[in-house]
Chains A and B, each alone.
Chain A
């Protein structure tokens, strides 16, 4: 790659940083209206829903990987296991599935 590549990385770094930094620094010490605060408090759980579905079904060409993976993750999580156990347990189940049927 030539010099353009480094300019591109510089540009990508700047435009990636701006949406991350502006709200955190600009909103520091400012009290937002109650209604806005309430909506912002809802964001984390809504984001999780959107990040999981439907992308989880398309992690592999074989859609069953995603279906079994998602079902396993929910099942393990509902037992009250902590996050790292959910992650490792789901990987283990899919490894077994992949070795047998992959």
Chain B
């Protein structure tokens, strides 16, 4: 039973590490122009480890928003992780609470999607640790590097690498989509809801992702159950 352990996790997390590279580098650079020292920028990535929330905090700091409000906003942006970790819990092997509390720190949109779409029944804790270590390492190291270098990648590479995380999401979704109408509908309906919220501006990004995900998951569940009953 040494399969699907730590080193498989590192491998599965490699695409996240690649995807975080340009995002963290730019975060380090922006943190520097916002006035954060190298230590402060790196500390934020070490302790918070939440891309969207960290980016937003920089623009709020620049705008002179009260720090307490920045914390509240961070919570609002990250509420969607309640839903993701509840879903992930169904997929993880049972383990000691302290271990789960430890790796819970490393659950981001990206690590969640990689873990939750793994084939097979249950995921081992060591596999999750591998995925998280390589992702977290990339996030922290490249935050520092971005601040140190104080420049982003050459224009064309910066532009092309900004697709990385989305390409990863596609790469995770497509294998499950093949021959599975339920998966296609789930992704499609959530995408439509999220686009609606985006273009109307009814919900901010964090809420929009959570509400569209939940709505799609419930609608498809109701439809598929009716299908079985009929």
Q: Which residues of A contact B (CB under 8 A)?
A: 1, 4-13, 15-25, 27-29, 32, 35, 37-56, 59-60, 65-66, 69-70, 72-74, 76-78, 80-95, 97-99, 102
Contacts and interface: CB of A to CB of B under 8 A. Distances in A.
A49 B196 CA distance: 13
Contact of B161 (A17, A81, A91): A91
A47 B190 contact: yes
Interface residues of B, number: 100
Contact of A38 (B75, B80, B221): B221
Interface string B109-134: 10011101100000000000000000
Contacts of A98: 155-157, 159-160
Q: Describe A's contact surface by its main secondary structure.
A: helix
A53 B195 contact: yes
Interface in B74-105: 74-75, 78-90, 92, 94-95, 97, 100-101, 103-105
27 contacts: A11-B68, A15-B74, A17-B105, A19-B75, A20-B105, A40-B87, A41-B87, A44-B116, A45-B187, A46-B187, A47-B190, A48-B169, A49-B189, A50-B209, A50-B212, A52-B170, A52-B187, A53-B192, A54-B194, A54-B195, A69-B163, A76-B171, A81-B171, A86-B167, A88-B18, A95-B157, A98-B160
Contacts, number: 300
A27 B86 contact: yes
A24 B162 CA distance: 31
Contact of B216 (A16, A22, A46, A90): A46
Interface of B: 12, 14-15, 18-19, 35-37, 40, 43-44, 47-50, 53, 57, 61, 67-68, 70-72, 74-75, 78-90, 92, 94-95, 97, 100-101, 103-105, 107, 109, 112-114, 116-117, 155-157, 159-164, 166-176, 178, 182-183, 186-195, 198-199, 208-209, 212-214, 216-218, 220-221, 225
